[in-house]
Structure 1
Amino acid sequence: MNKKVKVQNLGLKDYKEVWDYQEQLFKETLDLKIKNRRENSNLETGNHLLLVEHPHVYTLGKSGDAENLLISEEELEQKNASFYKINRGGDITYHGPGQLVAYPILDLDNFFTDIHKYLRLLEETVILTLRGYGVKAERSKGETGVWLDVGTPFARKICAMGVRASRWVTMHGLALNVNADLGYFDNIIPCGIQDKAVTSLNVELGKKEVPLDEVQEKLLKHFAALFEAEILAD
């Protein structure tokens, strides 16, 4: 089993461009797995983790409701924002500058074949990362992602998650608000959940900005430990 994960830090990159790149890596891994099965071979499949920020964009998962986007195409243009219907689970979410987005394209046959466990470990990666800043984050029963003050009137989401998997190969992933412009969330019903607020790490810490590269470093450390992975940096 190959537990090496090639990490690529893509910087600020257009959503569609990165989605296409994810699809390419996803297909390469699937094709290799199919080849191994057909030819009874044992060629090693790769694992990737893309770290990126996106320009303002809203994405709607395959089970989502388009009515959860609360603004028109004209208003999207005014806000320099894009909108895509995509092939991950979950409803609508926002990506933008100041948000750390992580896309693991993993062959779970190299780790464990359990999607529930995969999602919980992604959440735990974020929970431990935030703990490093003194922020107590947790899961909310029945709601994927990472939250603060669960079970109180002040419950707020700090990290959204949505994944796709086929033949145990994953894509899409998580979006952690680090220095995000939270005003953009006002234009959607985030993840289709009404009456729940969103927050960002810099807001919780009372800082203008938290160094994104610092958060990435902590996230990678916890990801490697939880997945028992060897990180190969680009």
Structure 2
Amino acid sequence: MCATPVSSPQTSSDPGLPAAALQTANSPVVVRWRGNEAYQASFDAMRAFTADRDADTSDEIWLVEHPPVFTLGQAGKPEHLLVADSGIPLVQIDRGGQITYHGPGQVVAYLLLDLRRRKLMVRELVTLIEDAVIETLAAYNLAGERKAGAPGIYVPEHASGASALHAGAKVAALGLKIRNGCSYHGVSLNVSMDLAPFLAINPCGYAGLETVDMATLGVKANWRDVAATLAARVEANLAAHAATLLSAAEAAATDPSAEAAGEEPAVCAASGGEPPQPQAGVAPAA
């Protein structure tokens, strides 16, 4: 998954809401282990889940490992597939961004979240996901960092040890679709893969971008353990976001100056400016 967050129908993080309403921002998350599953099956299932959900539907995280597949975002350029006869299928999908690769040895976490219920903006969700990946890597003594304007997680430019040979390489990619205030798609973290298929594409549209996995960086990790760690970090970060909102609401209830401080307009993802009004049926790719 690879995408650039864009301005879209947003969900405002509003600490001025009643504390009781903010309790729903910490709704439980169901983690589903879907195992090895064809990409098209996952894609169809998460679109159907999002279309059918209502205000009472639980949020879910799906943990999946896909057979080899290239996926191309809705505005993706086919020329970023450099080898037409690679034998790996190409699937056109509805997230933003360009082309990426999914395959065995990669943890894919699909985030099916009601952002309105969680009082969570797209930009906040992207940051939350990236934090979860960085924290997951740290659990295995690996460092990761962001790059401005290029969502995902990368080996730090000043990395040491085995990572120093792959400074700047991408180890995790993310891409989201937001429909009616709910997210799907998510994040992929390379654990122990055949990286050769990445040479057949310009990953996320960047020519010459190196892609690595945790094994290349010197860590032998079990796929299931990494998947569990990543899901736990996403859950923890969602809970922390909800706790922050609740604390702000409680402070605003007792301190008028705190309420005033909470009135600063939220920032739109990537493009900046004032958040647009939600429009029914208009979904961003982030």
C-alpha distance in structure 2 between counterparts of 1:148 and 1:85, whole Å: 28
Contact 2:73 2:97 in 1 (8 A): yes
C-alpha distance in structure 2 between counterparts of 1:113 and 1:216, whole Å: 23
Contact 1:113 1:168 in 2 (8 A): no
2:82 alignment counterpart: 70
2:229 alignment counterpart: 218
1:50 aligns with 2:57: no
Tell me the matched-pair count.
210
1:227 alignment counterpart: 238
2:177 alignment counterpart: 164
Taking structure 1 as the reference length, the TM-score comes to 0.85
Contact 2:30 2:60 in 1 (8 A): yes
1:135 aligns with 2:135: no
Gaps of at least 5 residues in structure 2 are 1-23, 160-165, 241-286
Tell me: CA distance 1:128–1:47, structure 2 relative to 1, closer, same or farther (3 Å).
same
Q: Within 5 A, what are the aligned runs for 1:152-231?
A: 154-205=167-218, 207=220, 210-228=221-239
2:43 alignment counterpart: 19
Question: One-letter code of the match for 2:155?
Answer: L
**Root mean square deviation, CA, Å:** 1.7
Contact 1:101 1:174 in 2 (8 A): yes
Question: One-letter code of the match for 2:141?
Answer: G
Greater RCO, 1 or 2 (C-alpha within 8 Å, sep 6+): 2
Contact 2:86 2:200 in 1 (8 A): no
Shift of 1:128: 0.2
Question: One-letter code of the match for 2:178?
Answer: A
Shift of 1:45: 3.0
C-alpha distance in structure 2 between counterparts of 1:201 and 1:71, whole Å: 25
Gaps of at least 5 residues in structure 1 are 33-42, 230-234
Tell me: CA distance 1:13–1:140, structure 2 relative to 1, closer, same or farther (3 Å).
same
Shift of 1:151: 7.7
Question: One-letter code of the match for 1:6?
Answer: V
| Greater per-residue strand proportion | 1
C-alpha distance in structure 2 between counterparts of 1:206 and 1:216, whole Å: 15
Question: One-letter code of the match for 1:228?
Answer: A
Contact 2:36 2:65 in 1 (8 A): yes
Contact 1:140 1:150 in 2 (8 A): no
Give the match's secondary structure for 1:110: coil
C-alpha distance in structure 2 between counterparts of 1:63 and 1:151, whole Å: 33
Give the match's secondary structure for 1:204: coil
Q: In terms of Rg, which structure is larger?
A: 2
1:95 alignment counterpart: 102
C-alpha distance in structure 1 between counterparts of 2:172 and 2:31, whole Å: 20
C-alpha distance in structure 1 between counterparts of 2:147 and 2:228, whole Å: 25
C-alpha distance in structure 2 between counterparts of 1:201 and 1:154, whole Å: 13
Give the match's secondary structure for 2:76: coil
Contact 1:49 1:103 in 2 (8 A): yes
Contact 1:88 1:172 in 2 (8 A): yes
Runs of 4+ off more than 6 Å: none
Shift of 1:193: 0.9
